[in-house]
Amino acid sequence: MRFSSLASRFLAISALWSVIALVATALLLTALYKNNAQKNFNELLTAHIYNLMGAVDLDKNGKVTGNPNLGDPLFQQPFSGWYWSVTPKNASTGPHLNAIKSASLVDATLQTPDSKKVQFVDGFLRSFQMQGLNGESLTVVEAQIILGEGDDVYRFLVAGNNAALDLETREFAQNLILFLALFGLGMVISTFAIIKYGLRPLSRAKEALNRIRNGEAEQLEGEFPDEIAPLVNEMNALIDANKTVLERARTQVGNLAHALKTPISVLQNEARSTDSPLSRKVEEQVVAMHEQVQRYLDRARIAAQAGSINARTPVAPVIERMVRVMQRLNPNLQYEQLMDGPETLIFRGEQQDLEEVLGNLLENASKYAHKRVQISVQKGEVPDSRKIAPMLELKIEDDGPGLTKEQRIEALKRGRRLDESRPGSGLGLSIVNDIVSEYHGAINLDDSELGGLKLIIQLPAADY
Amino acid sequence: MRILVVEDDKDLNRQLVESLTEAGYVVDMAFDGEEGHFLGDTEPYDAVILDIGLPEMDGISVLEAWRREGKTMPVLILTARDRWSDKVSGIDAGADDYVTKPFHVEEVLARIRALIRRSVGIASSEIEIGPIRLDTKLSRVTVDGKNIKLTSHEFRLLSYLMHHQGKVISRTELVEHLYDQDFDRDSNTIEVFVGRLRKKLATDLIETVRGLGYRIQPAEDAV
């Protein structure tokens, strides 16, 4: 049998052990109780023997006489299983020897085993089990003493019905089983509680991992017990190492690609300065080289992006910086920012990507604007396939000439695929489009109230 | 107009210097950050072309040092990094514009022209004063629509005065901005050039302000 959870493993082991322990306890206690009860029963019967011996004597004719009253009316009831008798050891030694017995025996005699089989302790007292007259189970105590002046040995016998003993033992066992069953149930419940409480740090660790996936945390946070703390630390170290490796890979690809750009510049300019078949060939090849370099740079960026799970970027500082940069590049334009609760706007993604989107779009808007460029950010919600995902809505508007409906459709189409784009073609939306679609966002174009184009970008938001 | 090019790649540096010289600028060059920083710190330049990836002292540090020391000349940065995060750090350090590698030299020339115009507050690429029209793009001068042939020194002198129209420019300033660092500076040659210019342009727009220098007054209808 396989158990998929730790809790069910613990529960199964604990339940199994409870059953074994409790059954063993029940058997042992019942046996002990029965033993003890038997001892008490024997003592009771022995006490009856002494009573009997005190109440019986020989009369002057040498006859056994006496009217013992052992207090229990069952000794009067025929074949009740409670008997007493006083008989001479050897009835054959003389007809003068008589016997007396309880009324319950009526006219019957109990056939006791031979003294060789069950010996008298110190030649005086013995105890044994035997079958009664009605087939009932009996406990018998028998003593042999000499009565009178002679040496005639009499045997005093008291028998008790074991039914009483059995009933008592059964009642005890029933109570015991009921009690132990309750006890066992309690144990299982408390085990369950212990597991629940004891394994809670694990579910907290699960929640912490979830937070990382949702981009709400960069590390597993919180206090963990000594047993899990090393695991949590290892996980955090792994997350860090992962980040470092990605960062290094990204840097190295970047360094290589960027290092190639200076020689490409030189070749390109050198080729353009003369006009010959060679220079045309060189120029053509240089353009191809640059496209390759650019493609690998973009790919490295996208690969790095896919690996990062925990980026959170506050939007307002990025917008402020980009606007400051744009203002410096285009001192004649007027930039306006509109943000709802700037500090609550958080992009679930990398700062570089947000800068890339904003930089390209603002640069575009600045190129076409007459006087004004407006950027506004709002929080919104977009129904995802499974749940309502919080989104950021960025609008970038200008007061330039704008685009017709057909041009807008064309601009979006052209930005669709990386391979189709050429530097400086269309609206340069391709890189923006790539980034936005990586984040499962959306781009829309519309007319702006300022008179020009309005770009509407939706990107995932993180909780404030 | 005097320009500093700081670029460690010898070929790229040469290409830039050749094209700028051809376009009528006086050009100084540096091949590492320290040399570039020193030149920018001690010589007056009308614009600087600064590569970001330089030996000895990287471009961003050079730029930050200049701005800290109060140098305000327009700076165009050359960067292989075309991500906005890289451009932003350049501009935050005090750059006025950027060109990403690989680039065509024409692109750099256009940006430099625009930066110089912007730094003196001129909006159009053609500066017009009275009958004189200076096309900064084509490095061409016309008077009443007629092409005037000028030597490179004459063109630089006229261009500088027209860019700074209305201001009195001292001979020292003219020498500093019209010749590169290795030139034997003798301000008397300026007088010769001014004389020749006046003759070629056939106007008296260039005033001599006694004891101070020269000035071109903007015409009433000029920008």
- Which residue range forms the structural domain that includes residue B147? 126-216
Q: CA of B33, closest CA in chain A: separation in Å?
A: 17
| B49 shares its domain with B138 | no
**B213 close to B168: Cβ distance less than 8 angstroms:** yes
H or E stretch covering B147:
strand B146-148
* Test mutation, B101, B115, B120, B122, chain A, max A CBs within 10 A: B101
d(CA B141, CA B201): 9
Report CB contact under 8 Å: A268, B104: yes
Phi, psi of A226 (to 5 degrees): -50, -30
Per CB-CB distance under 8 Å, the chain B contacts of A371 are: none
Q: What share of chain A is helix, strand, coil (3-state, %, to 5)?
A: 50, 20, 30
The answer on pLDDT for B99 being more than 50 is yes
pLDDT at A77: 87
| B105 shares its domain with B33 | yes
Burial A173-192 (b: 16+ CB within 10 A, else e): beebeeebeeebeebeeebe
| B90 shares its domain with B148 | no
| B161 shares its domain with B200 | yes
Q: How many CB pairs under 8 A join A and B?
A: 75
Comma-separated ranges of CATH 3.30.565.10 domains in chain A: 313-460
**Which chain A residues touch B if contact means CB-CB below 8 Å?**
254, 257-259, 261-266, 268-270, 272-273, 286, 290, 301, 321-322, 324-325, 328-329, 331-332, 351-352, 355-356, 358-360
Per CB-CB distance under 8 Å, the chain A contacts of B99 are: none
Report CB contact under 8 Å: B85, A290: no
| B116 shares its domain with B181 | no
| B107 shares its domain with B70 | yes
Q: What is the CATH number of the domain that holds B12?
A: 3.40.50.2300
CATH class of the region A7-168: alpha beta
B63 is a domain residue: yes
The structure tokens listed for B93 are 């350090």
pLDDT at A3: 60
Written as tens digits, the pLDDT of chain A (464 aa) is 556 677 788 888 888 888 899 999 999 999 999 999 999 999 999 999 998 888 888 877 778 888 788 888 888 888 888 999 888 877 655 556 778 888 888 888 888 888 788 888 887 889 898 888 888 889 999 998 888 777 778 888 999 999 888 898 999 999 999 999 999 889 888 888 888 888 888 888 888 888 877 766 778 888 888 888 888 889 889 888 888 887 788 788 878 888 888 889 999 888 888 888 898 899 889 989 888 888 877 777 665 555 455 678 899 999 999 999 999 888 889 999 988 888 888 888 888 889 988 998 998 889 889 999 999 998 877 665 555 678 889 999 999 888 888 777 777 765 444 334 444 434 457 778 878 888 888 888 888 888 888 999 998 888 76
Total domains in chain B come to 2
Of A266, A329, A356, the CB nearest to B11: A266
**Bond into B102 cis (ω within 30):** yes
Report CB contact under 8 Å: B92, A325: yes
pLDDT at A250: 77
Smallest CA–CA distance from B111 into chain A, residue: A329
| B107 shares its domain with B60 | yes
Burial B170-187 (b: 16+ CB within 10 A, else e): ebebbbbbbbbeeeeeee
B7 is a domain residue: yes
B223 is a domain residue: no
d(CA B161, CA B198): 13
Comma-separated ranges of CATH 1.10.287 domains in chain A: 229-307
* Test mutation, B85, B89, B118, B120, chain A, max A CBs within 10 A: B85
Domain-terminating residue out of B120, B150, B169: B120
| Of the listed ranges A52-61, B60-69, B147-156, the one predicted with least confidence | A52-61
| B90 shares its domain with B158 | no
| B110 shares its domain with B162 | no
d(CA A309, CA A220): 13
| B93 shares its domain with B147 | no
The Cβ of residue A242 has, within 10 Å, a number of other Cβ atoms equal to 13
Report chain B's mean pLDDT, rounded to a whole number.
Answer: 87
pLDDT at B175: 85
B186 is a domain residue: yes
**B141 close to B155: Cβ distance less than 8 angstroms:** yes
Domain-terminating residue out of B120, B150, B176: B120
Of B80, B84, B104, the CB nearest to A355: B84
Q: What is the CATH number of the domain that holds B145?
A: 1.10.10.10
| B130 shares its domain with B113 | no
Q: CA of B59, closest CA in chain A: separation in Å?
A: 15
Domain-terminating residue out of B120, B141, B157: B120
pLDDT at A209: 85
pLDDT at A305: 58
Domain A229-307 has CATH 3.30.420: no
pLDDT at A419: 37
Of B15, B92, B100, the CB nearest to A270: B15
Is B183 in the A-facing interface, judged by CB distances under 8 Å? Answer: no
**A335 close to A375: Cβ distance less than 8 angstroms:** yes
pLDDT at B86: 84
Smallest CA–CA distance from A265 into chain B, residue: B102
Phi, psi of B44 (to 5 degrees): -85, 115
In the stretch 74-133 of chain B, residues with CB closer than 8 A to chain A read 80-81, 83-85, 87-88, 91-92, 96-97, 100-105, 118, 123
Comma-separated ranges of CATH 3.30.450 domains in chain A: 7-168
**CB burial class (10 A; 0-12, 13-18, 19+) of residue B1?**
buried
ipTM: 0.73
| B109 shares its domain with B153 | no
pLDDT at A2: 59
**B76 close to B95: Cβ distance less than 8 angstroms:** yes
The answer on pLDDT for B207 being more than 50 is yes
Report CB contact under 8 Å: B9, A286: no
Write down the CATH superfamily of domain A313-460: Histidine kinase-like ATPase, C-terminal domain (3.30.565.10)
d(CA A136, CA A389): 83
The answer on pLDDT for B221 being more than 60 is no
B222 is a domain residue: no
Report CB contact under 8 Å: B53, A258: yes
Report CB contact under 8 Å: A266, B103: no
pLDDT at B222: 41
Compute the average pLDDT of residues B179-202: 79
d(CA A121, CA A108): 27
Per CB-CB distance under 8 Å, the chain A contacts of B9 are: 262-263, 265-266
